[in-house]
Chain A
Amino acid sequence: MSTPTADVARQAPPTRPATTRTPAATAALAGTGYLLRFMLRRNRVRLAVWTGSLVAFCGYYVVAIAAVYPTAADRQNRADSIANAGGTLLAGPGYGLEDYTIGRMFANEMALWLMALLATMNILLIARNTRAEEASGRTELVRALPIGRHAGTVAAFLMVLIADAAFALFGSALMISAGQLAAADTFTLLTGVALTALVFAAITTVTSQLTVHSRGASGLAFAALAAAVLIRGIGDIQQEHGSWLSWLSPIAWTQQARPYADVRLWPLGLSVLAIVVVLVVGAVLASRRDLGGALLHGRPGPAAAAPSLASPFALVVRQQRGALLWWLVGCVAMFGPAGLFLGADSGDALQRIAEQNELTETIFGDDPIMAFLAIMMLHNALAVAVFTTASVLRVQTEEDEGRLGLGLSRPTSRTNALLAHLAAAGIGALVLLVAGGALPLWLGASLSGGDTSLLILLKSAGAFALGIAVLIAVTAALYAWVPRASALAWVFCGIIVVERFFGSVLQLPTAVKALSPFWWVGSYPNAPLDPAHLVGLGVVAAALSALAVAGFRRRDLSAG
């Protein structure tokens, strides 16, 4: 594929005749349509995958939920089980809980997640197409063409608007046809979801003016999203169907449209208003700064390195500690509240869930608490698997961009350089498993008066750590021997996730399941650990690591 800027340059829009002077507002937007077409083409795969999977998810949910909760009594049972603080926090304001139809279930439980996912897509796309372009210097080339100051931002916003509109349209069509849901309510709900997500797209155009880094811009926007989710949750817990606090959150503006319960349109107007206001704020801020600059200035750092920054390991830790910290915050935020659920009467609550339907019964079985712990620890371990894969693969970026070679021009060995990355990933994984999973679960349970064994949780974390070690070693071996194929580590990571979630549903053959190190860990504490399996995992991890080091020592490095 040719480079984006080259494409832009080649198809530059025709220059205006110098005699017709365009008004300032039009000039600032010159070339918007042209940039929009270019962005749509450049992001076509990303846009199609995001919106396509969200639409499919909507269709799948309404069909699946009808199968899992076939009768009104089933659904009422479900409504009762989430009519509490935890349920409200993770779902919605609870309109129509008294007669829980499939539509109301979707609006109450799924709308929040749809908004979060669509907003995530918008935030990433806006940051990627505005701030990241500017940071890479490509915007400079494009802005040298007859293209207006705000054209890039407006084009990026229009691009996500098109994607969100497509989601609302096709999602509604699918839900109306496949789930036989009321057309007006469905369309209102998904339009609301799209509008809320667009509020966060607009917020990203503001945060993009504040920091010079794309990650900083999306990070600030994600913080706003997290705050919106939290504020809405607290507001709805304070008062049934939401307090004044809820109304401060763009999330509420969609949920308060009460689809399938007593639909009203005006709350969506709040979103529209917010989008316009925030976009204007972004445009004003953008006019006040230079290209490449930002309103928040980066602070200067130390002129000398800390004495500890001497080994490759110290350097890798220094590079990755920020990411690890955010993962840890995320895990604690996830599993701490989950632990709160394990209060004194948790056995009964879980038993009720277990009795809801066949699916939950097979999951929770005879000992619901142990099953719940196993599920929570598994979720934590799967998140850690994603973190670990990304962490190990950063060594390839280091190599491709020449930093690994520069580091190796110091008197350090290749073995040392590779093991530094593996050790950093391994230690990060251990931190997340223990301090991000086991401890928050135990603390949450203890705080709410539950009685959960820390030892069991630590044993589970340790067992998963061995599985993670195999994942690290496989990724490292791929990177060392076939660097071009090291992205296949994500396929391996995917196998681990799919095997755990869908292994039995899809009836995967044992040979496939056995590929996943987590299959060998099993579902402790719901089922006992097999010491032989754990030793086996350790041996495989050690052998593959040695293989990786051997491969890395003998091959050419790509740059430096």
Chain B
Amino acid sequence: MTNTYILGIESSCDETSVSIVRNGYDEIATVVLSQMDTHANYGGVVPEIASRMHVESITIVIEECLKKAHMTMDEIDAIAVTYGPGLIGCLLIGTTFASTLSYIYNKPLIPVHHIAGHIYANNIGKQLKFPLIALVVSGGHTELVFMKEDYSFKIIGGTLDDAVGEAYDKVARVLNLPYPGGPLVDKLSYEGIDTYSLPLPLDDNSYNFSFSGIKSAVINTSHNLKQRGEELNKANMACSFQNRVVEILTKKTLRALKEYDVHNLIVAGGVAANSGLRDSLKEMCIKNNIELSIPEIKYCTDNATMIAAAGYYAKKIGKQADIDLKAKANDELN
């Protein structure tokens, strides 16, 4: 079999990343430049600053990646790039960069949906087993996806309001935790007990999620305690919040696995790094004889390795873009 080398490019939010992956699963080299420390000064990602930083680092990141791989652009078979969804000003640095490279080096340009990338983070160093259910959880997404085969996505449910990671970050703010607060809520939850009565979010028969209600419940509880002059037990609140979120995610995921008669579950996105969620899903999968795949932490957050991996399979089914590729802030996974 001849080898196929895909160069992946990711710039949809606050990470500038370039990676080279062989045959869709074998990581050759990756460079990720995170802007997190800068955005921490502002309590969240500032889109204009993020765009500015992508421009400043993009050629440095690719050069570093090629050096690490001991490869030249001539050895690359195709260029895969995140075209959306994400911050538009950030995405278009990646698409412009990729289109320019595609033109100069005369290489095919493969558009990759960011969520397809997160899913294919589970294809690095191993390969997806089908059919599968993917639980995609991040700062911008909460989705259940059914996959019959490679690069076939059927969204069976999604969030109606806040994404789960977004809810975590907002709750972190109520608990006065520094940015990015999600991982700190996770950590803190292990120091507390489940004492606060919070609702189980959108506990219905759909595969949809809603986290704005529980977020408001956290805010209201904290506010009411303050008015009564009582102290909020932050660890207990983190624990109560996390328990409820993890419970509903696990519950609906299990139901999807059963209804679709699927025995493979993959987890994707930044919140896949959440230990509470990892533990709960592990337990559920053991009980129900389901094979669980969760990426290594470094592949949970945004990176170009997953984009290059997904790009390989996108290319296989004939997805290709012209050099007039447009970045899209919002776009359905299909």
The judgment on whether A and B are partners is no
The chain A residues found within 8 Å of chain B, CB to CB, are: none
